[in-house]
Amino acid sequence: MPTIKGKVQNIVEKDSAYGTMYNFEINGTTYGAGKYPPKGVSVGDYISFEAEQKGRYWNMNTKSVKKIDPVPDEAPAPAKTGYAGGGAGGYDARQDAISKQASRNTAIEFMNFLAGQDALPVAKTAKGDAKFDAFSAILEKLTEDFYNYATGKTKTPARAADAEQADEGPEPSDGW
């Protein structure tokens, strides 16, 4: 196991099915600490610890954590092989691409569901290119809505928000 030395840049608490889990960001890499973070360690402290890569993630051996004197910025972090959860909350360009793909797939499946319910908002008289354009526009809108919801850019799926408005007033004017 490599020994890591660096400054604690961030500590993130995440609720999970197993309880609160802790992640520590050191030298730009996120290390999982599990349910029991090392005692007495806070953001800004310089620490040394043993790390182990399990699959795509790095874990810190919390029993090996020691506070140390500040180290130069050039202290090497382990080479990132695969996804190590870097960045704010583990979000990076690769995760963005995955979110976009998942949103597109979800939109397609949702359109299939709507078609089976005869609930797609396309005029029955639409033919050929007009029908294709209408379906394409719906697909793009649903993809965007699912992406925004999945990435936290909106807190409520767009149609749920529209449904709440519809209960309080007239239908939305965009045809949805």
CATH code assigned at 69:
2.40.50
Q: Within this chain, do residues 75 and 102 fall inside the same structural domain, yes or no?
A: no
Q: Within this chain, do residues 81 and 98 fall inside the same structural domain, yes or no?
A: no
Domain with 47, as residue range(s), is 3-87
pLDDT digit string (tens) for 97-124? 888 999 999 989 988 888 888 888 887 7
- As for how many domains the chain has, the answer is 2
Q: Within this chain, do residues 76 and 103 fall inside the same structural domain, yes or no?
A: no
pLDDT digit string (tens) for 24-43? 999 889 999 999 888 889 99
Q: Is 174 within a domain?
A: no
Q: Is 139 within a domain?
A: yes
Looking at residue 157, its pLDDT comes to: 63
Q: Within this chain, do residues 60 and 80 fall inside the same structural domain, yes or no?
A: yes
Q: Within this chain, do residues 56 and 76 fall inside the same structural domain, yes or no?
A: yes
Q: Is 175 within a domain?
A: no
Collapsing DSSP to helix, strand or coil, 1 comes out as coil
Q: Within this chain, do residues 21 and 82 fall inside the same structural domain, yes or no?
A: yes
In the chain, the amino acid numbered 47 is I
pLDDT, average across residues 147-163: 71
Q: Within this chain, do residues 21 and 52 fall inside the same structural domain, yes or no?
A: yes
pLDDT, average across residues 45-63: 91
Q: Within this chain, do residues 109 and 78 fall inside the same structural domain, yes or no?
A: no
Q: Is 173 within a domain?
A: no
Q: Which residues touch 154 (CB under 8 Å, ≥6 apart)?
A: 145, 148, 161
Helix 128-150 × helix 158-168 angle, to 10°: 100
Which residue's structure tokens are 């182990």? 52
> What band does 168 get if pLDDT is binned at 50, 70 and 90?
very low
Q: Within this chain, do residues 127 and 72 fall inside the same structural domain, yes or no?
A: no
Q: Within this chain, do residues 103 and 80 fall inside the same structural domain, yes or no?
A: no
pLDDT digit string (tens) for 69-99? 886 655 555 555 555 555 555 557 888 888 8
Q: Within this chain, do residues 112 and 157 fall inside the same structural domain, yes or no?
A: yes
Q: pTM (2 decimals)?
A: 0.41
Give the mean pLDDT of the chain.
Answer: 80
